[in-house]
Copies of this chain bind each other. A is one copy, B any other.
Amino acid sequence: MFSTELANFFPIWNKLTDAQQQRLITAAEIRSAKGGTVLHNGSMDCLGLLLIRTGQLRVYTLSSEGREITLYRLFELDTCLFSASCVMPDIQFDVIVEAEKDSEFWILPSCLFKDLMEESAAIANYANQLISSRFSEVMWLMEQIMWKSFDKRLAAFLLEECALEDTMSLKITHEKIANHMGTAREVVTRMLRYFQSEGMVNLTRGTVELTDKKRLRQLSEK
C-alpha cells in the first residue's frame, strides 16, 4: 500500500532496484501544513523532495524590495524539487515555497535524494525531467511578461484562478493579485476598474466577480 502510493509519484519506480525502493520507503515521511505556511525559504532551507498528496503549493521569488511574483503552482501528484535545491549546486537562485492551501505531502530527505541521483541514472534523469518542466514554466512566464501586455496577463490570471477555485467570484485582494503578478497594487486596481467599466468583472470589497468570461478569454488569447 505504502510502496504503491510512493510508486505513483515516480514514473521510473520500476527502474529502481529493490534496495533503492526500500530506502525510499523507509526514509519517506508524511507531513501536513496549513495554508499559508512557508515550507522552503531560499538557500536557508533544505527540507527535501516534496511529493504532494493533497493541497496546493505556490513557488515564488521576492525582489530586494519585497515584491513577489508567482513562478508556478504545484498540485496533487506533483513533486517539488526546489525544496531540495541545496543538493544541486548549479541552481543559483532562491525561491520560496508555500502551502497555498492546506496540504499533505511526503518528504524525501535531500541527502538520500542526492545519494540516489549519484548512483542511479534513472533517478538523475528523473531530476532532469523535473528541472526541465519547471524551467519550461518559467520560460512561459518570462515570455508572457516580455511580450504580453498587462491587460492580457490579468485576464488570463483571473480565468486561471476561477478555474482553480471552481468559482466565478474570487475572494482575493488587489494586493494579493499584485503579488502573484509581480506588479504594484495600484496597477492592478486601475486595470480591474477598466475591466469593470467594460462589463467584464464586478468589483466588491475583497471580491472580483467575473461577469463576462468569454470576453476575458478573448482578451487573454490575443
Contact = CB atoms under 8 A, between A and B. Distances in A.
A64 interface: yes
Interface residues on A, range: 35 or more
Interface in A25-67: 61, 63-65, 67
Interface stretch (A84-92, A149-157, A200-208): A84-92
Q: How many copies make up the complex? A: 2
Contacts of A141: 142
A222 to B, nearest CB: 11
Contacts of A118: 121, 125
A102 to B, nearest CB: 29
Contact of A145 (B64, B117, B145): B145
Contacts of A65: 147
Q: List the 8 closest A-B pairs by CB distance, nearest first.
A: A124-B124, A90-B132, A92-B136, A63-B147, A93-B139, A121-B121, A90-B129, A135-B135
15 contacts: A63-B143, A65-B147, A67-B146, A67-B147, A69-B146, A88-B128, A88-B132, A90-B133, A91-B132, A92-B136, A93-B135, A93-B136, A117-B121, A124-B128, A131-B132
